[in-house]
Amino acid sequence: MARGTFSIDGSTFASTIDKVKIGDHFYSHQPPAHAVLTSVLYYPLYWSGLHFSTGRNAAYAVLTFLTNGLSTLLALVLFFQALEWFGLNYLARLWTTVAVACASLLLPYSTTFNVHGLVAAWLFTGLYCFLRAQRASGEKRWLLLSGLAFAACAAMDHGTVFLYAAFLALLILRGERRAAAWFLLPASITLLPTAIYYYWLGGSLLPFAARPELFAYPGSAWVGTGNEAREHLTGEGWNSPAFAIRYGFLCLFGPRGFLVYNPLIWLAIYGLVRTLHRRLLFWQEALAITCGSAAMMLYFFFASTNFGGWSYSVRWFVALLLLWAFFVAPAVEWIAARKWLAAPLLALAAVSLFYSLGGVADPWPRPNSMGYLSPLYSINRMREPVPGITLTFSPDSGQLTPDGASTVEFLLTNTTSQPVTLTRFRLGGVDRSSSIRNLFGGNHMPANSRVLARLRFSGYTAPSDLTVEVDGEEDNGIPVFSKSMVNIHR
C-alpha cells in the first residue's frame, strides 16, 4: 500500500521464502485478496505514524485486532445467537461459545495476523447469513451477504472454494436457481479480480503457489531450483493414494494433528453425524459443510506434504472450526441427558485449553521433537532465558593490529542435557547472527558439547571492553544464553 505496488521488493517481507519471481520483481505467492483487504485498513494507520517493521509492533497489534480480532468477535456473537435456533437455553449457548472461543485453535489464530483465523470467522458469518436467508423475508439481502462472505474467503484462502461450491450446489439442487444467482454474484468482485490479477502478472489463471516455475530463482528454498529440496509446493503435483492416506492420518491424528489439537471439536463431529443421520434441523447445510470440508481436506492430503509448514497444528483446517462447531448443539442435548459425562467432558476441555494456550504462546513454532507435547515447547519459549551455554575466551583479550583488526579465540560450551539451536550472536551490541554458521560450523550443538571458534573483527578502538552474547533454544523450547566480556588492547 505505502509503495503502490504488489511487488515486495525492498519491503519488510522481502526476505521471506514464500515468494515468486515474475520478470525482475518478487511477489508474494499468497492470494492477493487478503493483502488488499488489510492494505485498506493499514492505510490510515500508516499515515498516522504506525508502520510495519520486523517482529511484533504497534501496527501489527492494531491490524491483527482490526482483522482477525474483530472478525472473530463478530462471528462469536452470531454463533451465540444462532445456537438459539436449536432451542438451547442461555447458559448452554454461553458456555458453548466460550468453549469454542477459548478451547480451540480459534484462539491462537484470532490473536495473530494470519488469513486462516480470519477466514474461519467469515465462513461462519456466511453460514449465518445463508440460514437467515432461509428464515427471513429479505432473502436477496442475506444471500448476497452470505455469497460475499463465502466468495471473499475463497479469494483469500483458495482451499475454501470447495465450501463456496458446496453451498452453491445446495441451492441449485434445491431448485433455487434465482437464489443461486444472487449467492454467486459477489464472486464478480472477489474471485474474478483475483483471476485477473493472476493472469495480468503471471500470464495464467493458475494461482502462483501452483506454478513451480515461478519459484525457480537463485536462492529459492523450493523444489526445482537446483538447490537441496527443503519443501514441496502445495499443488505442485499429486501424492500417491498410499502416501495421501498416511499423510492425511498424520494431519488429523499425528503430533500436529488437527483433531488432536482440537479435542472438543469431536463433539461437533458427533453432532454433524447425528444431524445427518437423523435429518435434524439444518441437515442439508450440514451435508454441504461435510462435503465441502471433505473435498478441501482431501485436496491437501493429495497435494501437500509439509503439514502447513512452520505453523501450530495444520493451519489450513482452522477455517472449518466454527462451521463444525455450530453443529455441537445436538451433542449438547445428548450430553445434558447423561450426567456421568461431566467429568470426562471437563478433562477434554482441559486438554483443549492446553493446546489452545500453547498456540497463543507461539503460533508459528519451529519444528521440534516434543511430539504430542509440542504446546510445552511453545510455552517454554515464554520463559526467561537460563545460562545454559558458556563462553570462555583464550586469551581473555585481543590485541589490536596495525590494520585495526583483532582476533580472539573462544570456547562455547553447551552445559545442558538438551541439544541447543543457536539463534543469536551479538558483538559489542551489534547483531552478527548471520555469521553463526560460519563461526561455529553450524547452528546446532548436541547436549554437553563444545565448539572452539576464532573470531576476527574490526571497527573498534583500544582499549575497550566488548560484550559478547550468544542466545539459543533447547530442543524443548527453553531459551538459553551466555554473556561475557572481551578486552581489546594495543
For the stretch 339-393, pLDDT in tens is: 888 888 899 999 999 999 999 988 888 777 788 988 888 888 777 777 778 877 7
Where is average pLDDT lowest: 96-105, 209-218, 345-354? Answer: 209-218
For residues 113 and 68, the answer to whether their CB atoms sit within 8 Å is yes
Instruction: Report pLDDT digits (tens) over 114-139.
Output: 999 999 999 999 999 999 998 876 58
CA R_g for the chain: 26
Measure the CA–CA gap between 165 and 147, rounded to whole angstroms: 10
Residue 483 in this model has a pLDDT that exceeds 60: yes
36-74 pLDDT, tens digit per residue, is: 998 888 888 888 887 776 666 788 889 999 999 999 999
% residues pLDDT > 70 (the chain): 91
Q: Residue 193 contacts by C-beta under 8 Å, 6 or more apart in sequence?
A: 33, 155
Instruction: Report the half-sphere exposure of 375 (CA within 13 A, side-chain side).
Output: 18
Q: Which residues have C-beta within 8 Å of that of residue 101, sequence separation ≥ 6?
A: 72, 76, 107
Residue-wise pLDDT tens digits, 281-303: 999 999 999 999 999 999 999 99
* Site of grid cell 499468497: 30
**Cα–Cα distance, 39 to 53 (Å, whole number):** 15
State the pLDDT at residue 404.
64
Q: What is the pLDDT of residue 135?
A: 81
Parts of the chain belonging to CATH 2.60.40.10: 389-489
What pTM did the predictor assign? 0.84
Give the strand order in the sheet containing 389-393: 389-393, 405-414, 450-458
Q: Which CATH number describes the domain made up of 389-489?
A: 2.60.40.10
Nearest residue to 292 (alpha-carbon basis) of 417, 490, 159: 159
Given CA atoms 382, 383, 385, 388 in this order, what sign does their dihedral have?
negative
Which phi and psi angles does 458 have, rounded to 5°?
Answer: -145, 175
